[in-house]
Amino acid sequence: MSTAAAPSASSASAASGEGRPARPAGLRPLLPLLLVPLLAALALWAFAWPAARTAPNDLPLGVAGPAAQADQVAERLGARDGAFEIHRYADEAAARDAVADRTVYGAVVVTPQGPELLTASAGGPVVAQFLQQAVGAQAAAEGTALRTVDVVPAPAADPRGAALGASVLPLALAGIAAGALVTLLGLRGVRAALTLLGAAALVGVVGVALAHSWLEVLTGNWWAEAGVLGLSTLAVGAAVAGCAALLGPAGIGVVGFVVMFLGNPFSGAASAPRMLPDPVGAIGQWLPPGAGTTLLRSVSFFDGASATGPLLTLTWWAALGLGAVLLGPALRNRARTPQPTTPGREPALAG
């Protein structure tokens, strides 16, 4: 009785690899050499370029006082190409209201004693310092002294706004982590949405306990600030989990890239959106880090003034993300399910 010889390992491996293109091992070391410098260049562009080009870009600035003198001040300030967007007010009271309502970043009031500069360092210490330098230099050239009044000062515990600017990255990381964990743990549908909501609420409470109660760098309503921090986290977390529900795990990287490489440096947290070059400032306000920073400033320092826009932006991010979390698995399953063919005549075989 004879038996067939078993195929050798080499022949089996050759058969299994038949038809597959060979992967040249020598090219693999080239991937890090190409991708890492590209990633570094992208990060430097995203973070260093806006910082290096920080300057007023149609910065809203008020001018108030007697018409003749105010016209001269507005003309001199308008001579700076694209630096200021001039708003005219009848008197100092109207200019103060505009600064407190976040309509303008500051205002120059013409008085018999000389120019008076109204600022709001809580809205951005960098902007307040720049206005003092710009308007002060103009006043010095005219031989007059400048008096500065900080209408909405930054908190004493954070006069440079460093703590608020430093909060952007932790909130973004918390949101990315929440969305990634929900995805990797296999949570779906309602369970995933409730987990994201719970995690965001806890981040809001913990964050405001640290920033408001301990560090005292936030000075507004405690629960309103907690809501802003929670909504900012939810906007990112829901977007990450929702994109992953639609695209798979690759969705985590897509949203993480947008938030970290665009949202974080484009947020204007270190200065102000109008101090960033076009179109960086506008893009940043449509992303959760920028909208969250603007909303937190409004709620904490300006009694909610100009909060509607960033609030709607964060709400849309959170709502669309949660919608994708709830509907994403069903949509992916439907796309993968083969559709039944309609009974009909079979095509004739070619002879």
Q: What is the DSSP string of 45-86?
A: HHHHHHHHT---SSEEEEEES-HHHHHHHHHHHHTSTTTEEE
- Per-residue pLDDT averaged across 159-166, rounded? 90
Per-residue confidence (pLDDT) for residue 203, from 0 to 100: 97
Residue 213 has pLDDT above 70, yes or no: yes
Residue 340 has pLDDT above 80, yes or no: no
- Per-residue pLDDT averaged across 2-12, rounded? 47
Judge contact between 180 and 255, C-beta under 8 A.
Answer: no
CA-wise closest residue to 189 among 315, 331, 336, 314: 331
Lowest average pLDDT, out of 5-9, 70-74, 196-200, 214-218, goes to: 5-9
Per-residue confidence (pLDDT) for residue 21, from 0 to 100: 54
pTM: 0.85
Per-residue confidence (pLDDT) for residue 25, from 0 to 100: 61
Per-residue confidence (pLDDT) for residue 351, from 0 to 100: 39
Grade residue 308 by pLDDT with cuts at 50, 70 and 90. Answer: very high
CA dist 78 and 100 (Å) reads 23
Longest dimension (CA), the chain: 121
Residue 112's CB is within 10 A of a number of other CB atoms, namely 7
Query: Average pLDDT of the chain?
Result: 88
CA dist 41 and 43 (Å) reads 5
Judge contact between 145 and 114, C-beta under 8 A.
Answer: yes
Per-residue confidence (pLDDT) for residue 260, from 0 to 100: 93
Grade residue 4 by pLDDT with cuts at 50, 70 and 90. Answer: very low
Per-residue confidence (pLDDT) for residue 239, from 0 to 100: 98
Grade residue 345 by pLDDT with cuts at 50, 70 and 90. Answer: low
Residue 23 has pLDDT above 70, yes or no: no
Per-residue confidence (pLDDT) for residue 343, from 0 to 100: 57
Per-residue confidence (pLDDT) for residue 43, from 0 to 100: 85
Residue 216 has pLDDT above 80, yes or no: yes
Per-residue confidence (pLDDT) for residue 294, from 0 to 100: 97
CA-wise closest residue to 176 among 208, 199, 206, 202: 199
CA 97 to chain centre: 28
